[in-house]
Amino acid sequence: MSRSKALLGLFIVAAAGGAAASGKLGSTEELAKWLPPLKWFAGGKAEAQSGQVSPTQRAVAVEVGRAIKKKTPVILEALGNVTTIASVAVKPRLDDEIVGIHFVDGAFVKKGDLLVTLDTRAIEAQIAQAEGNLARDQAQLEGAERDFRRYTELVPKGATPVLNLENAQTQVDTFRAAIRADLAALENLKVQLSYCNIRAPISGRISQAAVKVGNFVRSADTIPIATINQIAPIYVTFTVPQRNLPELRVALAETGAAVEAIIPGDKRRAHGTIAMIENAIDPTTGMATVRANMPNEDELLWPGTLVSVQVTLRTEEAVAVPSTAVQVSQQGTFVYVVKDNVATVTPVKVSRLLGNESVIEQGLDDGDVVVTDGHLLLTNGARVTVRERKAGA
């Protein structure tokens, strides 16, 4: 005890003694005036303050939620990316000049739409030449056939040697073969002419044109004129550990294994089903590649996008609580269970997370009331009062 506090104590005692000697401490009111300083001097300042409750006895205001037993999905989560089912590089099949681009960069094109036009003048001239050769050979065939008919009538009469008939037959066969060659050459030129009009082989989104009108393109060019990616339907490709493969195959056989693809920053979700599981596991990683077929009619998924994938394997009955109720300590996870306005620490075992809820495998029963907010001031056995949930919580 310091010297100043000792002197103050002696002063208070002396004053009290003087008051007692003068008869001023006879009433209860006068005695109450001297008790707080004396108790403070004795180290009991907190108890001297009348009406103050001990912190351990004060009720803590908390928010609560309820543990509910319901059907909860068993979800397999993975990281995947969006891949196209079909992707076509638009390239020329002739060495020619571009005379027309008939699509807008990034537009949606349908199968059969005209995309690029090449210069057709040279091929059209070759077609006209081939048609002339065909007409010439047809005329020669007609002459050879007349000779053959005439010699056929004369040989039985002995008016001409058989050799002339045989030569006429040879001429007919020669011109017939020439006509077949002319027809094949003409058909080949028409096919090449069709190559001058490049059309979309599939429906999808087209990229920007790498070359524009006036450029000379070759069939050997490595860079395509444009690329078409099929958008709807589309694949979501992801990998799963080999330990999850058996239950994934069971889900695929029984329910089709529903898939949800979540794009970071977008509240919408794309839905689909498992399309295929790769027929071998990567031995270096122990992962199996899985592809999900997504209808993607609204074009939510874009090729190359990284997405979070959730595969619903099955549903089962389990107790779920808000995830904010679950706390972590050195001894493990626990919750505060409220009963008769008293919070009790209850250890729990969390099975999995479902959005804002935690599925409890062990420790809680259906209907238990748990603390969801206000844990900071809580201790085991503390009294609590339930407050209304904050707006927007």
Q: What is the CATH number of the domain that holds 211?
A: 2.40.50.100
Q: Does the pLDDT at position 349 exceed 50? A: yes
Per-residue pLDDT at 369: 94
Asked if residue 107 and residue 205 are part of one domain, the reply reads: yes
**DSSP assignments along 270-332, one per residue:** EEEEEEEE-SS-BTTTTEEEEEEEE--TT--S-TT-EEEEEEEEEEEEEEEEEGGG-EEETTE
Per-residue pLDDT at 324: 92
Asked if residue 30 and residue 99 are part of one domain, the reply reads: no
Q: Does the pLDDT at position 42 exceed 90? A: no
How many other β-carbons are positioned within 10 Å of the β-carbon of residue 229?
A: 19
Share of the chain above pLDDT 90, in %: 69
Residues in the chain: 393
Rounded to an integer, what distance in angstroms lies between the CA atom of residue 161 and that of residue 165?
7
Report residue 274 CA to chain centroid gap.
13
Rounded to an integer, what distance in angstroms lies between the CA atom of residue 259 and that of residue 232?
16
> Is residue 392 one of the residues assigned to a domain?
no
Asked if residue 266 and residue 366 are part of one domain, the reply reads: no
Sign of CA dihedral 327, 328, 333, 338: negative
pTM listed for this prediction: 0.67
What average pLDDT does the segment 220-244 reach? 95
> Is residue 171 one of the residues assigned to a domain?
yes
Per-residue pLDDT at 50: 38
Per-residue pLDDT at 155: 86
What average pLDDT does the segment 230-251 reach? 94
Place of tokens 């008919």: 149
pLDDT interval class at 352 (50, 70, 90): confident
What average pLDDT does the segment 109-138 reach? 96
Q: End of a domain among 297, 315, 333? A: 315
> Is residue 138 one of the residues assigned to a domain?
yes
| CATH code where residue 345 lies | 2.40.420.20
- pLDDT, averaged across the chain: 86
Q: Does the pLDDT at position 19 exceed 70? A: no
Q: Which alpha helices (DSSP H) does the chain contain, by range?
A: 3-21, 28-41, 45-48, 121-154, 162-195, 245-254
Asked if residue 66 and residue 39 are part of one domain, the reply reads: no
Report helix, strand or coil for 113. coil
What average pLDDT does the segment 52-76 reach? 80
Do 30 and 19 form a contact (C-beta atoms < 8 A)?
yes
| CATH code where residue 279 lies | 2.40.30.170
Asked if residue 248 and residue 205 are part of one domain, the reply reads: no
Q: Does the pLDDT at position 204 exceed 60? A: yes
Q: How many domains does the chain have?
A: 5
> Is residue 339 one of the residues assigned to a domain?
yes
Asked if residue 327 and residue 346 are part of one domain, the reply reads: yes
What's the token pair of residue 345?
């620490």
User: Residue 271: which domain range?
Assistant: 76-85+228-315
Do 84 and 233 form a contact (C-beta atoms < 8 A)?
no
pLDDT interval class at 265 (50, 70, 90): confident
> Is residue 40 one of the residues assigned to a domain?
yes
Asked if residue 214 and residue 150 are part of one domain, the reply reads: no
| CATH code where residue 163 lies | 1.10.287
Higher-pLDDT residue of 5 and 253 is 253
> Is residue 391 one of the residues assigned to a domain?
no
| Highest-scoring range by mean pLDDT, 145-159, 182-196, 370-384 | 182-196
pLDDT tens digits, residue range 81-113? 999 999 999 999 999 999 999 999 999 999 999
Residue 89 forms beta bridges with which residues?
227
Bridge-based pairing state of the strands 382-386 and 60-66:
parallel
